[in-house]
A and B are shown apart, each in its own frame.
Chain A
Amino acid sequence: MGETKIPVDLIIKKLVEDSEEAYKTVQKASDVLLGPLDTQIATTPYEVVYEEDRIKVKHYKPKTGVKLKTPLLLVYALINRETMLDLQPGRSAIQNFLNEGVEIYMIDWGYPARKDRYLTIDDHVNGYINNVIDFIRERHNLSKINLMGICMGGTFSVMYSALHPEKIKNLITTVTPVNFDTDQGLLHVWMKTINADKMVDTHGNIPADMMNFGFLLLNPARLMIDKYVGFLQNVNNKTFVENFIRMEKWIFDSPDIPGETFRQFINDCYKKNLLIRNKMELGGHRVDLKKITMPLFNIYGKFDHLVPPEACELTTKAVGSRDTEDVRLDTGHIGIYVSSKVQKEFAPRIAKWLKERDKSEKESPGRKKPVARRTVAKTKATVSSPKKEKKEISA
């Protein structure tokens, strides 16, 4: 490397000039950091209505009254925590849904312990999710409920809807990978080559720190340097510091991933891309996406580096439903849920879509429809103007 002439004298001159201002900033920063800070996350009141093993179901009821007959179950990913949907007042998807009169149930997957290492995707989808849905159906005396999945939770929701279409009224997928055969995102490139079997055999559950380090490595310049430079530049701004700490709390509050679930997700989805090809099997049952006949609303981010558009946009074409809609937002993977700009549109748009399809359907949960599932969905689709739409919204 050749020597370069860096104008040190000019840099020093500039530093001296800025020193007074820097002193004031440091003093203010000290006041901010040492003073009381509100950095709590997930503050919207809820009630835990269901518990099974490590999982809990949180129930949120709108204060202004329920405007939708069918409640919405949110299924978050096993990576990081569902608290992201209720990060802070003003940046809370949960709050926005409640403001729209949507009654929310949300699965908290908890923190898997070593004993959970043998839990498979089948245990999560046909076990926990199915039990939770049965519980909600019974609680509301409904045969079907609305289901919304986030990221990996969306993939689970797609699997569930294909295996149990008779229990799902409307399906919403957000930043949900279904087509894994893409080189658009680094995650997809890396996951295709890692030895998941060896990782699981060695670690049991996949350690959260290992996953977090992997995510930071997706963009170290921004996530390990620029982010903290930004923090230092705004360290004297109390609101900025509070928001920053909330985000840090969420990012590094990561549960381990149950080993067998990770193994199957990497091998069957990332490596073999079985889901979109209708070849994936859960508990001995083939997941056929054509059996997803309920209305489907598919939302993803144009600048998502974790789940790129290519991984999401084929879903609507792969399912059996005729009432589908794609929405591509000008934002990233997390921005969909936490960006103030996107939030103004995200929940209200979903609520509107649900309201349009929220016809009364009160039945006893045990009662089965006499007509074939596909026929029912097609009829419903006709009622709610069947269409395959694709929309782009700038955030």
Chain B
Amino acid sequence: MSENQNEELYPESLMSFWMKSATDFWGSTYRMWSDATEPFQSKGLKSQFQKLESAPKMWQSFISTLSTPESVNALFKGTSILPEAMLQTLQSGWGGYSDLQKEWLEKTSRIGKRMEAYKFEDIDKDLFKAWSEVYEKEFRQFLSVPQIGLTRFYQERIGQTLDRLNLFEIAMSEFMSLLNLPMEKSAKAISERLEEATEKGELSENFEEYYREWIKILEGHYMVLFKSTEYIQVLNNVLDAGENYSSAKNHLIEDILQSSPVATNKDMDELYKEIYLLKKEVKKLSKKGS
């Protein structure tokens, strides 16, 4: 490969070559088009074209200047700064991100610590308390990060809906776990009863007897549970959380539907209320009239 060929491969030479070719191509194209349309050009139009001629000439001289090796070098020196700047930006961004990630990891490790604090023998209520605490202290804040920009309201709604869904799931799990307690307790009671009967050799061949006994025990456990203040509290929590989630989800759907030609529940409720009040008034007047 000759020295000249080598030079042509360098960006400076390539740039200069491309600029010259482009100028030549567009210059000749413009002249051809100008010559071809000359017979059809009116006086006014001609003068417009003459004015326009100056534009390609200016472009030509600008490109010619740029195509000199010195100018191209200067241009490329400028562009070489760009990756450097990008690298610096990325580094600082990555640093921030890794700091954030580090913080997240720390938070995650704290989850384990929090869980260890509760004994699994007494898992019944403490687990859900721990779960709820972990979520509220370590995760929830990510869904509440202030949103910015044009779509901030929508992002906020999504965050809010996810938050409410998580809280509802926690409350529902606690509720279901509480409902399961009588099952566990009655199963234990009946298995002890079976064990006792086996040891005494009094095991009945009719297992329906044991089923009846189990159902009776289960019913008793449920009655005790349902009257407890703890159950009533958990029941109200799950209803409350469910309603919060339902409400957040509905608001999100209403936002999404805003751009569609569909009436939302909110729109319809307003309309229904008006109809309801009007109907009531009409009935009242109609009764008065008759």
Chain A positions within 8 Å of B, measured between CB atoms, are 1, 4-7, 10-11, 14, 114-115, 117-119, 123, 127, 186, 189-190, 193-195, 198-199, 201-204, 217-222, 225-226, 229
What separation, in Å, do the CA atoms of A201 and B250 have in the docked complex?
12
Please give me the residue from chain A that is nearest to B275 by CB atom: A115
- A1–B188 CB distance below 8 A: yes
Chain B facing A: main interface SS: helix
- B239–A222 CB distance below 8 A: no
Please give me the residue from chain A that is nearest to B276 by CB atom: A118
B268 within 8 A of partner (CB): yes
Chain B positions within 8 Å of A, measured between CB atoms, are 179, 182, 184, 188, 191-192, 194-195, 198, 203, 205, 207, 211, 215, 218-219, 222, 226-227, 232, 235-236, 239-240, 243, 246-247, 250, 265, 268-269, 272-273, 275-276, 280, 283
- A127–B205 CB distance below 8 A: no
Contacting residues, chain A, for B191 (C-beta < 8 A): 4, 6
Chain A facing B: main interface SS: helix
- A186–B227 CB distance below 8 A: yes
- B232–A189 CB distance below 8 A: yes
Please give me the residue from chain A that is nearest to B186 by CB atom: A221
- B219–A222 CB distance below 8 A: yes
A1-B184, A221-B215 are contacts. A199–B226 as well, Cβ < 8 Å? no
Contacting residues, chain A, for B211 (C-beta < 8 A): 229
What separation, in Å, do the CA atoms of A198 and B236 have in the docked complex?
11
Please give me the residue from chain A that is nearest to B192 by CB atom: A4
A4-B188, A118-B273, A226-B215 are contacts. A11–B207 as well, Cβ < 8 Å? yes
Count chain A CB atoms within 10 A of each CB in B192, B198, B203, B239 and give the residue with the most. B239
- B227–A117 CB distance below 8 A: no
What separation, in Å, do the CA atoms of A222 and B280 have in the docked complex?
44
- A194–B227 CB distance below 8 A: no
Contacting residues, chain A, for B195 (C-beta < 8 A): 4-6
- Measured CB to CB, the closest approach of chain B to A254, in angstroms, equals 18
Given A14, A114, A189, which contacts B227 in the complex, CB threshold below 8 Å?
A: A189
- B265–A10 CB distance below 8 A: no
- Measured CB to CB, the closest approach of chain A to B239, in angstroms, equals 6
Please give me the residue from chain A that is nearest to B199 by CB atom: A5
Contacting residues, chain B, for A226 (C-beta < 8 A): 215
What separation, in Å, do the CA atoms of A372 and B280 have in the docked complex?
31
Apart from A114-B268, A198-B240, A221-B215: 6 A-B pairs, beta carbons within 8 A? A4-B188, A4-B191, A4-B192, A195-B243, A217-B226, A220-B222
